[in-house]
């Protein structure tokens, strides 16, 4: 339902463990602890969505000294990421289409097993088009995290925005696919497991 560039969905929550518990109860699939983003003041749990795509639950890290980088005042499907073949070319294409996705900077986290995952990612604040336009990520030599996760099914993923035509122009420039219709800036998705479906918005 989405193209192969889709890397992950980012679901922010002020109470990470409670949200993970609700997802596990609703779907029958329990997300796996991903690790801590020490520079960002967050930690995450992950569940695969097939191939190199996953759902990330992200929330404040109670052990962090830094304030969380993300707005986690309420549960929300905050944004999404794609993994283009060439990060620099995709960034330039987005800018040419009218969206500045920010600069490229490095990121990393250590998994509970002690493995260091590193990536390069684009970042802009505020998020272009309120997160309906994706950010870009390149995992380089790190193993993609989705490959070692329990897998649920992404049955629906779509967006709304007051300027849907502008968003679609940028998505086309990136080679990404997402149905976007007119409405308040928002993303919505549904993920299904053996026990049922969990809705994200």
Peptide bond connecting 126 to the previous residue in cis, omega within 30 degrees of 0? yes
DSSP bridge partners of 197: 192
Q: Where exactly are the structural domains of the chain? A: 6-200
Pair 122, 104: CB distance under 8 Å: yes
Pair 191, 55: CB distance under 8 Å: yes
Per-residue pLDDT of the chain (201 residues; tens, 9 = 90+): 446 899 999 999 999 999 999 999 999 999 999 987 766 678 899 999 999 999 999 998 777 666 555 557 789 999 999 999 999 999 999 999 999 999 999 988 888 888 888 999 999 988 999 999 999 999 988 999 999 999 999 999 999 999 999 999 999 999 999 999 999 999 999 999 999 999 999
Q: What is the pTM of this model?
A: 0.93
What topology is assigned to 6-200 in CATH?
Answer: 2,3-Dihydroxybiphenyl 1,2-Dioxygenase; domain 1 (3.10.180)
Most distant CA atoms of the chain, gap in Å: 44
């Amino acid at each position: 339902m989405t193209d192969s560039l889709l890397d992950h969905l980012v679901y922010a929550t002020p109470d990470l463990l409670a949200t993970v518990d609700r997802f596990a109860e609703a779907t029958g699939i329990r997300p796996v602890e991903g690790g801590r983003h020490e520079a960002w003041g967050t930690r995450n749990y992950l569940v695969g969505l097939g191939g190199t795509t996953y759902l990330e639950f992200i929330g404040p890290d109670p052990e962090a000294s830094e304030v969380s980088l993300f707005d986690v005042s309420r549960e929300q499907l905050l944004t999404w990421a794609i993994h283009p073949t060439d990060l620099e070319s995709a960034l330039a294409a987005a800018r040419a289409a009218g969206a500045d996705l920010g600069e490229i900077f490095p990121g990393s986290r250590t998994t509970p097993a002690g493995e260091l995952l590193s990536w390069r990612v684009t970042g802009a604040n505020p998020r272009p088009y309120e997160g309906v336009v994706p950010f870009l990520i390149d995992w380089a030599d790190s193993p993609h995290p989705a490959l070692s996760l329990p897998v649920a099914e992404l049955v629906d993923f779509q967006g709304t925005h007051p300027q849907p035509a502008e968003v679609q122009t940028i998505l086309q420039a990136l080679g990404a696919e997402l149905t976007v219709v007119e409405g308040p800036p928002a993303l919505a998705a549904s993920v299904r497991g053996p026990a049922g479906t969990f809705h994200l918005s």
